[in-house]
Amino acid sequence: MSSPIVVFTVTVALLGVHVLHGLPYSYLQPRSHHGVKTEKFSEKYFTQTVDHFNFNSMGNGTFLQRYLITEEYWTQGYGPVFFYTGNEGDIWEFAANSGFITELAAQLRAVVIFAEHRYYGTSLPFGKDSFSVPQIGLLTVEQALADYAVMIRDLKQQLGAADCPVIVFGGSYGGMLSAYMRLKYPNMVAGALAASAPVLSTAGLGHSGQFFRDVTADFESVASECRDAVRGAFHQLTGLAQHQDYSRIQSEFSLCKPPSSAQDIHQLNGMLRNAFTLLAMLDYPYSTHFMGSMPANPVKVACETMLSGPDLLTSLRNTAGIVYNSSGLLPCFDLYSLYVQCADPTGCGLGLNSLAWDYQACTEIDLCFESNNVTDMFPPMAFTETDRQLYCAKRWAVVPRADWLKTQFWGDALSTASNIIFSNGDLDPWANGGVRKTLSSSVIAVNISGGAHHLDLRGSNDADPESVISARKTEADLIVLWVEMERTRLQRSL
- Cα 346 from Cα 217, distance rounded (Å): 16
Residue of 389, 382, 298, 292 lying closest to 345 (CA atoms) = 382
Residue 52 annotated to the active site: no
Q: How far is CA 309 from CA 224, 245, 376, in A?
A: 17, 22, 22
Whether residue 211 contacts residue 414, with contact meaning beta carbons closer than 8 Å, is answered with: no
Q: Is 428 a catalytic residue?
A: yes
Annotated catalytic residue within 218, 428, 456, 464: 428
Q: Residue 195 in 3-state DSSP?
A: strand
Separation between Cα atoms, residue 425 and residue 430, nearest integer Å: 9
- List residues bridging with 85 in a β-sheet: 115
- Of 453, 454, 464, 467, the active-site residue reads 453
Annotation says 172 is catalytic:
yes
**DSSP result, 111-173:** EEEEEPPTTSTT--TTGGGTTSTTGGGG--HHHHHHHHHHHHHHHHHHHT-TTS-EEEEEETH
Options 130, 172, 178, 467, the catalytic residue: 172
Helix axis angle, 298-308 relative to 210-222, nearest 10°? 70
Cα separation, 421 vs 448, whole angstroms: 13
Nearest to 237 by CA among 224, 225, 226, 250: 250
Interatomic CA distance for residues 112 and 41, integer angstroms? 9
Catalytic sites, residue numbers: 172, 428, 453
